[in-house]
Amino acid sequence: MPKFHLEVPHNLSADEAKSRLERFVESLQAKFQDKVSDLTQAWNGNTLTFAFKTFGFKVAGAIASLDKKLDVSGDIPLTAMMFKGKIETEIREQLNRLMRS
């Protein structure tokens, strides 16, 4: 399965970023309820694992909450490779908004 990776810089501590990330899944559900389904999340320390379906594709990954940045990595199906850039851009935009709100 193809991988994606991105970093989202912020000016927060790891704990504050984690606190904001706890609202990430809920914000995705509210904003993209017609495009995203089967959203799940689980915490392991400061790392949020997540999975969701969008346009019939399953996207799964993890977001590590670190001082000054989020480290995001995950898997997308081979059939969704042509949308990899759009998926990464959308995740980055949503996390940037969340870290600045």
Domain residue ranges of the chain, discontinuous segments joined by +:
3-100
Buried b (16+ CB within 10 A) or exposed e, 59-94: bebebbbbeebbebebebeeebeebeeebbeebeeb
Q: Give residue-wise pLDDT tens across range 41-84.
A: 899 999 999 888 888 888 899 999 999 999 999 998 898 888 88
pTM of the model as a whole: 0.87
Tell me the CATH number for domain 3-100: 3.30.530.20
pLDDT for 87: 83
In the chain, pLDDT over 70 holds for what percent of residues? 99
pLDDT for 63: 95
pLDDT band at 22 (very low <50, low <70, confident <90, very high): confident
pLDDT for 64: 97
